[in-house]
Structures are given as structure tokens and as C-alpha cells.
Amino acid sequence: MTKEKIDEMLEMYGDEMLTMDGFDDCIIGIVERCSEPTIFCYSTEKVLEKLMKDDGMTREEAEEWFSFNQLGAWMGETTPCFLTE
């Protein structure tokens, strides 16, 4: 998702939508939920690939980092979700 599209979504749905710093290129869409805030959805695979490329992690290290620090991080009801294809 482009920076412009992310900004458009933030304007449309509110600035309370959370993003992960440095991972905008891993956003694949938004999730609209009944009676719940709209949230960003990230590609699990893109996040893992970015961790391996940018931080020099092995696949195993990236999966462990992702699981604990990103997937396992609860930041409130607008915490992003992750899609594994």
C-alpha cells in the first residue's frame, strides 16, 4: 500500500489506526469489523521478508522476532492484524 493510500485510510477512518513503524510496504489492506474499529492488515510473509532483508535475520530469527514483538504485541483495539497466505 502506498504512503498516499495509507494517509487516505487514516483520514477516512481516523488517526487512531495503528501502523508498525518502517513496515508500511507490508500493509496489504484494511479490515472492517462490525462494531469494532477498522484496522490495518499486514502480510506475514512480507514482514518476515523485510526482517530478513533489512535486519539480516535468518528465517528462524525473523519468525521468532515477529511472533514475540509484532504478532504478540497488543496495543489496544486498533492493533493491526496479520494475514498468512
What is the residue extent of each domain of the chain? 3-79
Q: Which residues pair with residue 25 across a beta bridge?
A: none
**Hey, which bits of 9-80 come out as E strands?**
27-33, 36-43
pLDDT tens-digit readout, 40-60 = 999 999 999 999 999 999 999
CB-CB contact of 53 with 45 (8 Å): no
Residue whose C-alpha cell is 530469527: 61
Q: Which pLDDT score is estimated for 48?
A: 98
**Reported confidence tier of residue 13, pLDDT bands at 50, 70, 90:** confident
